[in-house]
Amino acid sequence: MTREMLQTTARRHVLAAAATALLGTVWCVGFLGFGVGVEAVAYVFAPAGGVFAVASVLHLIRRSPEPDPVAARFWRGVLISVAVIASGYAWMAVDMLTHVSQAHTRSMPPLAAACAAVGFLIAIWTLGRVPVVAPGGAERWRMALDRTIAFLGCAAVLWYAGLAPMLSAREPWSRQAMVLVGLGLLVTVSAATKVSYIDGGPVDRVAMRLVAAAGGLPAGVAAVLAVRFGLIGSVPAQAFVLPLAPLLITLGVAAQIRADRGARREPVRPGTLLPYLAMILADVPLVAIAFGAPLRWPVRVVLIAAVVVTALVMVRQYLAYRENARLLRIARVQEERLQYEVSHDGLTGLANRALFRERLTAALAGGGPTSVLLIDLDDFKTVNDLLGHGVGDELLVSVAGLLRAQAGKNALPVRVGGDEFAVLLTGSDPDDLACRLLGALAHPISGHRLLVQASIGIADAAPGDSADEVLRNADVAMYMAKQRGKANSVRYADGMGEPVLAHMQLGGELRRALDGDEFRVVYQPLVRLDVNRVIGVEALVRWHHPERGLVSPADFIPAAERTGLIVPLGRFVLRETCRQAAAWLAEFGPDGLEEAALNVSARQLHDPDFVADVAAALAESGLPCERLVLEVTESAVLRGQQVSRALYELDRMGIRLALDDFGTGESSLSLLRAFPASIVKLDKSFVDGIEIDDGSPAATDARRAVARAVIQLAGALRLGTVAEGIESPEQVAALLDLGYTVGQGFYLGEPMTADGVANLLSRQRGAPAPAEQMVAFRSQER
């Protein structure tokens, strides 16, 4: 059955129960006002309303889709309770109807009263089984005290205002009736202390309140009627007061159905105000006594309850004091921890940048000698790339421990960020500390026994310097230390920042240059040495600055690497080279130009989109893959798995890879096996002096040893070779003698524009003497 049908049926039960109560009210008015009927009829309306209450609860239990076990258990208990109580009152109604003449003075049969009493006890047990908030520790004791205080306070008031006056009434009701009134009030008090501590849950709080009111409201009104009117008060009590209980039960069922449909109220903080309200209620009888109420034994019971409530409140306040003290201690510990975390690095435990600036500002305000060491680990990124970030973090922690040990108590070691550290010194010699640090870093550290080097910049605070000025000076000095070869320290001096600033500004102008189309691609010929014929070109980039003129690649390439702009710059060179090589291929045919090469940096290979960029450039230009050569340095090849994956993907695409500046690294021989190279380029340093013949065969062989070893190794591995930096015909002859067939250099051809290459290829295609044409073209270029 759908919830809509459930709700419709619940409304019908509510209307039926309301009609029963209304009918009883009409009858009561007719009997008391006009003498219509007999008194025994008054006892029929309560059990009649109970029938509708039982039907409503039974319908909820049987027809509710997917009932919750807790809610089903609660409503089964309510069903049994209502059925048993209705049975007791039905028994009494039958007894009264069979003794019509004695109805005014006849008491409820003991067995019927016992039946109703059992029903009330079942209701109390059912309410007690509903789970409340599940606190732990001191909170459990606080809740128990709160509920006890609330129970005693409410019970004291109901005893004083309800049940006790019935005992001393002029025409007291029977003991059975007073017991049932007391149980009804007990149901209300128990439910009040229970519902206030239920934080949501499957049983709706409003439904539970209505069920509790079904016991307390009729009992309270009945008590008032008994005290006020004596035995005649039983007529309205039975006719329209007790029938209110079934009506409230059916309203509770309707509230549960609404809650199951999603109309449940948001849970509030349980039991917040109830203990305080109970304390106020417990003091009401005391106020009455203060204004002259007689001190009888029912009042003494209330006084005892008030004393107990006061004692429990004191215990609760003591527990609250202890809990508040504990929370304050926790808050202080958390505040200290938070302050530590805000001012210290989470990985190394060193002071962070914020605390560093704070201490530096304080030291500068003190006026004493203050120095700052700025320490940057050299090539730390290689550790992360090759060994992983876990090993890199372990290395940083080891460096932090080394800084603590070397700095001492009078210095503040700091992790500025990444692989950059600092030390704040007041009154100590910064050069001595820098020397000790470099000496300590000369030995392997961390669990992996890694050897790491550092560049250290030193800046002394001059009078009037701000924290920013001191840090900027230390940064400039550290930059100069890196420029001087790393693994050393430099002290800042006046004027040192100007060239560094110029270099940084150069990096800042790179983006404008890319957007402003200030870069040009030039091409240096690759020449077959035996026939002096151009077979390919190497693409090189030049920057035509609008104010500085031609900027050297040695100046702007490092800046592009540092700023990351090498990626878009390399993309520009790649696309332009592919486009131009495809144009030459279309103009001069497949024999006109065999390959076009360009340099690729490690930063580009780390870019996850690099392989896609290469594929896109080839697709857009139409250049065949095998005619593109990408030149990579040995240091770039060693930059981790991302680089290795990119290189192997390029190799699978059919693009040839050249190992540039071969012989200058530390792992050249192993690289030839691990790296999918097609070409080896002999570095210029091994070509210089190769032509010298001073009459000593041994000296000549020594100068040619590396070049000879490279050509032999390349031949064994079936790799092509290119000799770089050829500057004389004698070098050409020496290289040909060693077996090199391809070379490049200023003697063979300087970097030239695309038009220059086109002119060269045009002359080469129609010229019978390529050697004479090359000499003539070199003369023309110069």
* C-alpha–C-alpha distance, residues 561 and 104, integer Å: 107
Give the number of other Cβ atoms within 10 Å of residue 227's Cβ: 22
* C-alpha–C-alpha distance, residues 313 and 473, integer Å: 67
Give the 3-state secondary structure of residue 615.
helix
CB-CB contact of 153 with 279 (8 Å): yes
- B/e letters for 182-221, b = 16+ CB within 10 Å, e = fewer, are bbbbbbbbbbbbbbbbbeebbbbbbbbbbbbbbbbbbbbb
Can you say how many angstroms the Cα of residue 156 is from the centroid of all Cα atoms in its chain? 53
Token pair listed for 773: 């044409």
CB-CB contact of 743 with 707 (8 Å): no
Q: Measuring CA to CA, how many Å separate 335 from each of 188, 242, 328, 346, 383?
A: 46, 59, 10, 16, 36
The residues that are catalytic are: 724
* C-alpha–C-alpha distance, residues 450 and 395, integer Å: 8
CB-CB contact of 104 with 231 (8 Å): yes
Residue with tokens 């640090």: 437
Q: What angle do CA 90, 95, 97 make, to 5 degrees?
A: 95
Bridge pairing between strands 595-599 and 533-545 = parallel
699 Cβ contact list (under 8 Å, min separation 6): none
Counting every residue, how long is the chain?
A: 782
Sheet containing 454-460: give its strands across: 411-417, 420-426, 370-377, 454-460, 489-491
CB-CB contact of 424 with 411 (8 Å): yes
Can you say how many angstroms the Cα of residue 58 is from the centroid of all Cα atoms in its chain? 49
Residue 748 burial (10 A CB sphere; 0-12, 13-18, 19+): buried
Contacts for 476-482 with beta carbons within 8 Å, 24 or more apart?
476/500, 476/501, 477/374, 478/374, 478/375, 478/376, 481/455, 481/456, 481/457, 482/376, 482/378, 482/455
123 Cβ contact list (under 8 Å, min separation 6): 77, 78, 81, 85, 187, 211, 215
Can you say how many angstroms the Cα of residue 521 is from the centroid of all Cα atoms in its chain? 46
The beta strands (E) that lie in 418-528 are given as: 420-426, 454-460, 489-491, 519-528
Give the 3-state secondary structure of residue 375.
strand
Give the 3-state secondary structure of residue 764.
helix
* C-alpha–C-alpha distance, residues 762 and 753, integer Å: 14
122 Cβ contact list (under 8 Å, min separation 6): 77, 80, 81, 84
Q: What is the CA radius of gyration of the chain?
A: 49
CA terminus-to-terminus distance, the chain: 99
